[in-house]
Amino acid sequence: MMDQIALVTGAAQGLGLVIAQSLHAAGFKVVLTDHRLDLAEQAAAGLDAGGERVLPLQLDVMRKPDFEAALAATLDRWGQLHVLVNNAAMTKATPVMDISPEEFDAVLATNLRGTLFGCQVVGAHMARAGYGRLINMGSLAGQNGGTATGAHYACSKGAIVTLTKIFARELGPRGVTANAISPGPMDLPSVHALVPPEKLEQIVQGIPVRRLGDPHFVADLVVRLAARDAGFVNGATWDVNGGLFMR
Protein backbone atom coordinates (compact mmCIF):
# COMPACT_ATOMS: atom_id res chain seq x y z
CA MET A 1 0.00 0.00 0.00
CA MET A 2 1.29 3.43 -0.90
CA ASP A 3 2.37 5.58 2.04
CA GLN A 4 -0.17 8.24 2.91
CA ILE A 5 1.12 11.80 2.76
CA ALA A 6 -0.46 14.51 4.91
CA LEU A 7 0.00 18.27 5.00
CA VAL A 8 -0.78 20.10 8.25
CA THR A 9 -1.03 23.90 8.48
CA GLY A 10 0.04 25.70 11.63
CA ALA A 11 1.97 22.57 12.56
CA ALA A 12 5.01 24.05 14.32
CA GLN A 13 3.37 24.26 17.75
CA GLY A 14 0.22 23.66 19.74
CA LEU A 15 -2.50 21.35 18.47
CA GLY A 16 -1.02 21.40 14.95
CA LEU A 17 2.24 19.90 16.20
CA VAL A 18 0.38 17.24 18.19
CA ILE A 19 -1.57 16.35 15.03
CA ALA A 20 1.64 16.17 12.98
CA GLN A 21 3.23 13.94 15.62
CA SER A 22 0.26 11.56 15.65
CA LEU A 23 0.14 11.31 11.86
CA HIS A 24 3.88 10.64 11.75
CA ALA A 25 3.59 7.98 14.47
CA ALA A 26 0.78 6.33 12.48
CA GLY A 27 3.10 5.93 9.48
CA PHE A 28 2.18 9.00 7.44
CA LYS A 29 4.73 11.14 5.70
CA VAL A 30 4.07 14.64 7.00
CA VAL A 31 4.41 18.03 5.35
CA LEU A 32 4.80 20.28 8.37
CA THR A 33 3.96 23.89 7.51
CA ASP A 34 3.96 27.16 9.38
CA HIS A 35 4.01 30.84 8.45
CA ARG A 36 7.55 30.86 9.88
CA LEU A 37 9.92 28.45 8.16
CA ASP A 38 12.38 28.41 11.07
CA LEU A 39 9.68 27.13 13.43
CA ALA A 40 8.56 24.53 10.88
CA GLU A 41 12.13 23.30 10.47
CA GLN A 42 12.66 23.17 14.23
CA ALA A 43 9.47 21.15 14.75
CA ALA A 44 10.33 18.84 11.85
CA ALA A 45 13.79 18.13 13.30
CA GLY A 46 12.18 17.14 16.59
CA LEU A 47 9.74 14.88 14.78
CA ASP A 48 12.11 13.09 12.41
CA ALA A 49 15.80 13.81 12.84
CA GLY A 50 16.63 12.02 9.60
CA GLY A 51 14.01 13.96 7.68
CA GLU A 52 12.97 10.96 5.58
CA ARG A 53 9.25 11.20 6.41
CA VAL A 54 8.85 14.88 7.14
CA LEU A 55 9.03 17.98 4.96
CA PRO A 56 9.05 21.44 6.61
CA LEU A 57 7.65 24.27 4.49
CA GLN A 58 6.76 27.93 4.89
CA LEU A 59 3.04 28.47 4.30
CA ASP A 60 1.05 31.59 5.13
CA VAL A 61 -2.59 30.48 4.90
CA MET A 62 -3.67 34.00 3.99
CA ARG A 63 -1.87 33.59 0.67
CA LYS A 64 -3.36 31.19 -1.88
CA PRO A 65 -0.05 31.04 -3.83
CA ASP A 66 1.58 29.62 -0.67
CA PHE A 67 -0.77 26.63 -0.83
CA GLU A 68 0.06 26.19 -4.52
CA ALA A 69 3.79 26.34 -3.75
CA ALA A 70 3.45 23.87 -0.87
CA LEU A 71 1.51 21.45 -3.07
CA ALA A 72 4.16 21.72 -5.80
CA ALA A 73 6.98 21.14 -3.28
CA THR A 74 5.18 18.12 -1.85
CA LEU A 75 4.59 16.60 -5.27
CA ASP A 76 8.21 17.27 -6.19
CA ARG A 77 9.36 15.46 -3.05
CA TRP A 78 6.89 12.57 -2.82
CA GLY A 79 4.70 12.66 -5.94
CA GLN A 80 1.37 12.70 -4.09
CA LEU A 81 -0.65 14.37 -1.35
CA HIS A 82 -3.53 12.47 0.22
CA VAL A 83 -4.52 14.40 3.36
CA LEU A 84 -4.87 18.08 4.22
CA VAL A 85 -5.42 19.23 7.80
CA ASN A 86 -6.48 22.89 7.89
CA ASN A 87 -5.39 23.67 11.44
CA ALA A 88 -3.74 27.12 11.33
CA ALA A 89 -5.79 29.71 13.18
CA MET A 90 -5.63 33.13 14.75
CA THR A 91 -7.24 33.20 18.19
CA LYS A 92 -8.30 36.49 19.76
CA ALA A 93 -10.44 37.16 22.82
CA THR A 94 -11.28 40.81 22.18
CA PRO A 95 -14.75 41.78 23.50
CA VAL A 96 -17.26 41.93 20.67
CA MET A 97 -17.91 45.68 20.96
CA ASP A 98 -14.16 46.42 20.78
CA ILE A 99 -13.22 44.38 17.69
CA SER A 100 -11.68 46.65 15.06
CA PRO A 101 -12.37 46.17 11.34
CA GLU A 102 -8.71 45.29 10.83
CA GLU A 103 -8.68 42.63 13.55
CA PHE A 104 -11.96 41.14 12.32
CA ASP A 105 -10.58 40.88 8.78
CA ALA A 106 -7.30 39.35 9.96
CA VAL A 107 -9.02 36.61 11.98
CA LEU A 108 -11.48 35.76 9.19
CA ALA A 109 -8.70 35.81 6.57
CA THR A 110 -6.53 33.42 8.58
CA ASN A 111 -9.17 31.00 9.81
CA LEU A 112 -11.91 30.95 7.20
CA ARG A 113 -10.25 32.16 4.02
CA GLY A 114 -7.18 30.05 4.81
CA THR A 115 -9.37 26.96 5.03
CA LEU A 116 -11.07 27.90 1.75
CA PHE A 117 -7.73 28.26 -0.04
CA GLY A 118 -6.46 24.93 1.29
CA CYS A 119 -9.60 23.07 0.26
CA GLN A 120 -9.56 24.73 -3.17
CA VAL A 121 -5.91 24.12 -4.02
CA VAL A 122 -5.32 20.74 -2.41
CA GLY A 123 -8.90 19.56 -2.94
CA ALA A 124 -8.57 20.16 -6.68
CA HIS A 125 -5.40 18.04 -6.77
CA MET A 126 -7.10 15.29 -4.78
CA ALA A 127 -10.12 15.34 -7.09
CA ARG A 128 -7.84 14.91 -10.11
CA ALA A 129 -6.16 11.98 -8.35
CA GLY A 130 -9.52 10.47 -7.39
CA TYR A 131 -8.75 10.25 -3.68
CA GLY A 132 -8.26 12.55 -0.71
CA ARG A 133 -9.11 13.51 2.84
CA LEU A 134 -9.81 17.13 3.83
CA ILE A 135 -9.94 17.67 7.60
CA ASN A 136 -10.82 21.12 8.88
CA MET A 137 -10.45 22.28 12.46
CA GLY A 138 -13.63 23.90 13.68
CA SER A 139 -14.29 24.78 17.32
CA LEU A 140 -16.94 24.59 19.99
CA ALA A 141 -16.90 28.40 19.73
CA GLY A 142 -18.42 28.12 16.27
CA GLN A 143 -21.33 26.12 17.70
CA ASN A 144 -22.17 27.87 20.98
CA GLY A 145 -20.80 31.37 20.34
CA GLY A 146 -17.65 30.83 22.37
CA THR A 147 -16.87 30.71 26.08
CA ALA A 148 -13.47 32.41 26.15
CA THR A 149 -12.74 33.52 22.60
CA GLY A 150 -13.75 36.50 20.51
CA ALA A 151 -16.78 36.84 18.26
CA HIS A 152 -14.61 36.96 15.14
CA TYR A 153 -12.95 33.67 16.07
CA ALA A 154 -16.32 32.05 16.81
CA CYS A 155 -17.81 33.32 13.53
CA SER A 156 -14.87 32.01 11.53
CA LYS A 157 -15.10 28.56 13.11
CA GLY A 158 -18.85 28.32 12.57
CA ALA A 159 -18.33 29.19 8.93
CA ILE A 160 -15.61 26.52 8.62
CA VAL A 161 -18.20 23.88 9.56
CA THR A 162 -20.48 25.16 6.78
CA LEU A 163 -17.60 25.32 4.30
CA THR A 164 -16.73 21.71 5.15
CA LYS A 165 -20.22 20.60 4.14
CA ILE A 166 -19.93 22.47 0.85
CA PHE A 167 -16.63 20.80 -0.06
CA ALA A 168 -17.99 17.41 1.09
CA ARG A 169 -20.80 17.73 -1.42
CA GLU A 170 -18.60 19.20 -4.15
CA LEU A 171 -15.72 16.72 -4.00
CA GLY A 172 -17.36 13.58 -2.58
CA PRO A 173 -18.25 12.18 -6.01
CA ARG A 174 -14.54 12.28 -6.91
CA GLY A 175 -13.27 10.27 -3.97
CA VAL A 176 -12.47 13.21 -1.68
CA THR A 177 -14.10 13.48 1.75
CA ALA A 178 -14.29 16.63 3.87
CA ASN A 179 -14.91 16.57 7.60
CA ALA A 180 -14.52 18.94 10.53
CA ILE A 181 -13.51 18.48 14.15
CA SER A 182 -14.82 20.94 16.73
CA PRO A 183 -12.84 20.77 19.98
CA GLY A 184 -13.90 22.45 23.18
CA PRO A 185 -11.30 23.93 25.57
CA MET A 186 -8.11 21.89 25.24
CA ASP A 187 -5.29 21.40 27.72
CA LEU A 188 -2.83 23.35 25.58
CA PRO A 189 -0.32 26.14 26.33
CA SER A 190 -2.27 28.45 24.01
CA VAL A 191 -5.45 27.99 26.05
CA HIS A 192 -3.64 28.64 29.33
CA ALA A 193 -2.05 31.74 27.79
CA LEU A 194 -5.35 33.07 26.44
CA VAL A 195 -7.56 32.50 29.49
CA PRO A 196 -6.73 33.81 32.99
CA PRO A 197 -6.45 30.97 35.56
CA GLU A 198 -9.54 31.98 37.53
CA LYS A 199 -11.67 32.18 34.37
CA LEU A 200 -10.28 28.87 33.13
CA GLU A 201 -11.29 27.23 36.39
CA GLN A 202 -14.81 28.60 35.94
CA ILE A 203 -14.89 27.16 32.42
CA VAL A 204 -13.73 23.75 33.65
CA GLN A 205 -16.44 23.73 36.30
CA GLY A 206 -18.99 24.37 33.54
CA ILE A 207 -17.88 21.32 31.53
CA PRO A 208 -19.92 18.23 32.48
CA VAL A 209 -16.79 16.05 32.67
CA ARG A 210 -15.00 18.78 34.72
CA ARG A 211 -11.74 18.80 32.82
CA LEU A 212 -10.05 20.21 29.73
CA GLY A 213 -9.80 18.16 26.56
CA ASP A 214 -6.85 16.00 25.55
CA PRO A 215 -5.23 17.29 22.32
CA HIS A 216 -3.81 13.82 21.67
CA PHE A 217 -7.32 12.41 21.35
CA VAL A 218 -8.17 15.11 18.81
CA ALA A 219 -5.01 14.20 16.91
CA ASP A 220 -5.96 10.52 16.98
CA LEU A 221 -9.34 11.48 15.53
CA VAL A 222 -7.56 13.27 12.69
CA VAL A 223 -5.58 10.10 12.00
CA ARG A 224 -8.79 8.06 11.93
CA LEU A 225 -10.55 10.45 9.53
CA ALA A 226 -7.43 10.45 7.32
CA ALA A 227 -7.53 6.68 6.89
CA ARG A 228 -8.34 5.05 3.58
CA ASP A 229 -11.28 3.17 5.09
CA ALA A 230 -12.93 6.41 6.30
CA GLY A 231 -14.50 7.05 2.92
CA PHE A 232 -18.12 6.89 4.12
CA VAL A 233 -17.57 9.69 6.65
CA ASN A 234 -18.23 12.89 4.75
CA GLY A 235 -19.54 16.33 5.70
CA ALA A 236 -19.57 15.50 9.40
CA THR A 237 -18.51 17.60 12.37
CA TRP A 238 -16.98 15.63 15.22
CA ASP A 239 -17.60 17.18 18.63
CA VAL A 240 -14.91 16.83 21.33
CA ASN A 241 -16.12 19.12 24.08
CA GLY A 242 -16.81 17.18 27.28
CA GLY A 243 -20.54 17.76 26.98
CA LEU A 244 -20.42 21.57 26.79
CA PHE A 245 -22.44 21.43 23.58
CA MET A 246 -24.84 18.60 22.86
CA ARG A 247 -27.13 18.00 19.87
CB neighbours of 205 closer than 8 A, spacing ≥ 6?
none
Compute the distance between CA of residue 36 and CA of residue 54 in angstroms, rounded to an integer. 16
- Collapsing DSSP to helix, strand or coil, 150 comes out as coil
Are 222 and 22 in contact, with CB atoms under 8 Å apart? Answer: yes
Q: Which residues pair with 239 in a beta bridge?
A: 182
Are 59 and 122 in contact, with CB atoms under 8 Å apart? Answer: no
Are 142 and 159 in contact, with CB atoms under 8 Å apart? Answer: yes
Q: What number of other Cβ atoms are within 10 A of residue 36's Cβ? A: 13
Q: What number of other Cβ atoms are within 10 A of residue 65's Cβ? A: 10
- Whether 131 is catalytic: no
Residues 153, 159, 195, 234: which is the catalytic one? 153
Residues carrying an active site annotation: 153
